């Protein structure tokens, strides 16, 4: 792919971020997840903890998984982190795994988090096109193809069978009761 493609991705993501800088809206969840078609989770996804340990998404297999892709420079990403924190606090006694994933350099994420009071489980992933543009310090999302996206923030919700039952590109009000109910309903299936 050429540099123009990456510039288009950057511009579109910036526009999505600007549109999402308004008041956060509650996501619209499907009434029936049988008909959703966002793909199947790739459990071979390799991530790193902030301490530098390597994990695979397969460690969370057979659980409901909430994945959020974000970056420190994205204002809507940062805004929704507070809502995700509240959602996490509401659900942390349930059997749900939260993965808040950035593809920025560890030092950037650690510095950002030192200034904030989040207790969310943060992870890092390798950027999928960092080495193709010299001098670029950030990218959008890498990882397995099923989790790649053209905008951030992007959130995926995966059921216990590995089916991606929800995908949201753009920020959202994650601490809404409808979100809690939707995620808890996945535990019953």
CB 90, CB 184: distance < 8 Å = no
Helices 177-187 & 75-91 angle (0-180, nearest 10): 60
Q: What are residue 3's DSSP bridge partners?
A: none
pLDDT at res. 150: 76
pTM: 0.82
pLDDT at res. 144: 84
Backbone angles phi, psi at 137, to 5 degrees: -100, -10
Q: Which residues of the chain have pLDDT under 50?
A: 1, 19-21, 130-132, 137-140
Q: Encode burial over 63-80: b for 16+ CB neighbours within 10 A, e otherwise.
A: bbbbbbbbbbebebbbbb
| Residue whose structure tokens are 């793909």 | 39
Kindly state the percentage of the chain with pLDDT values over 70. 80
Could you tell me the domains of the chain?
Answer: 3-187 (3.40.30.10)
CB 94, CB 37: distance < 8 Å = no
Length of the chain in terms of residues written: 189
Contacts of 5 (CB under 8 A, 6+ apart): none
Rounded distance, CA 48 to CA 101, Å?
A: 9
Instruction: Give residue-wise pLDDT tens across range 103-148.
Output: 899 999 999 999 998 999 999 997 655 444 555 544 445 678 888 8
Element (H, E) at 168: strand 164-169
């Amino acid at each position: 792919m050429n540099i123009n493609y990456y510039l288009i991705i950057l511009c579109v993501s910036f526009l999505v971020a600007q549109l999402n800088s308004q008041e956060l809206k509650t996501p619209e969840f499907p009434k029936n997840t049988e008909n959703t078609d966002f793909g199947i989770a790739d459990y071979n996804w390799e991530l790193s903890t902030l301490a530098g340990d390597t994990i695979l998404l397969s460690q969370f297999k057979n659980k409901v998984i909430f994945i959020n892709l974000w970056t420190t420079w994205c204002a809507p990403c940062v805004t929704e982190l507070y809502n995700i924190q509240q959602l996490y606090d509401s659900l942390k006694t349930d059997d749900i795994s939260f993965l808040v994933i950035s593809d920025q350099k560890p030092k950037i994420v650690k510095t950002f988090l030192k200034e904030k009071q989040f207790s969310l489980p943060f992870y890092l992933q390798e950027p999928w096109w960092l080495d193709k543009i010299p001098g670029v310090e950030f990218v959008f999302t890498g990882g397995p193809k099923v989790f790649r996206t053209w905008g951030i923030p992007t959130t995926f919700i995966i059921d216990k069978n590995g089916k991606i039952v929800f995908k949201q590109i753009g920020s959202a009000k994650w601490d809404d009761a409808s979100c809690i109910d939707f995620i808890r309903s996945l535990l019953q299936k």
